């Protein structure tokens, strides 16, 4: 295999899981996935690792300029979820909307708090005091680190972030 500066693609060998439609998930024990230097998937083959050379030849690629990544038996590749409505604040963090994520980072400390209280009371007692703490840059950095990790743990791998500029 070539050096990193010469790599034109990365080829993953291992299991994959993906959805065929809204109701079906396909799990493939042995797959070969080629990802170009631009990060775009070039092709996917349902095939065992010992077929790599044959498949590379069929796709007219040389394995000499490819990084080969063999997944462990307990690992698999799957598409990440995409969140098309996330909100960022002036401190530069991003968060995802979802069952375990607030709409924006200043609400993160309020997860699980205030259920069943009226919106105005929730804003006055929880959200506004939480947001005011974000004038402390270190506090904002700590919360954003937690928010980003929570977002990644939820399987979100791509977001579209909107910016908020709230004077505190």
Q: Which pLDDT tens digit goes with each residue over 12-66?
A: 999 999 888 889 999 999 999 999 999 899 999 999 999 999 999 999 999 998 9
For residue 13, the model assigns a pLDDT of 97
* CB-count exposure of residue 49 (10 Å: 0-12, 13-18, 19+): middle
Q: What is the mean pLDDT of the chain?
A: 80
For residue 22, the model assigns a pLDDT of 86
Question: What pTM was estimated for this model as a whole?
Answer: 0.57
Domains and CATH numbers, the chain: 4-77 (2.30.40.10), 81-163 (no CATH)
Going by pLDDT thresholds of 50, 70 and 90, the confidence category of residue 139 is confident
DSSP 98: B
């Amino acid at each position: 295999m070539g050096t990193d500066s010469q790599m034109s693609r990365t080829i993953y060998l291992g299991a994959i899981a993906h959805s065929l439609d809204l109701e079906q998930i396909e799990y493939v024990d042995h797959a070969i996935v080629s990802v170009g230097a631009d990060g775009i998937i070039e092709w996917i083959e349902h095939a065992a690792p010992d077929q790599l050379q044959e498949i590379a030849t069929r796709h007219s690629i040389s394995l000499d300029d490819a990084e080969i990544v063999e997944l462990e038996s307990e690992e698999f590749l799957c598409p990440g979820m995409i969140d098309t409505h996330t909100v960022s604040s002036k401190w530069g963090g991003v968060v995802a909307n979802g069952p375990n994520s607030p709409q924006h980072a200043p609400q993160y400390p309020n997860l699980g708090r205030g259920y069943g209280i009226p919106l105005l009371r929730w804003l006055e007692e929880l959200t506004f005091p939480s947001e005011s703490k974000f004038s402390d840059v270190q506090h904002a950095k700590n919360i954003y680190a937690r928010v980003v990790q929570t977002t990644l743990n939820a399987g979100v791998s791509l977001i579209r972030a909107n910016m908020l500029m709230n004077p505190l």
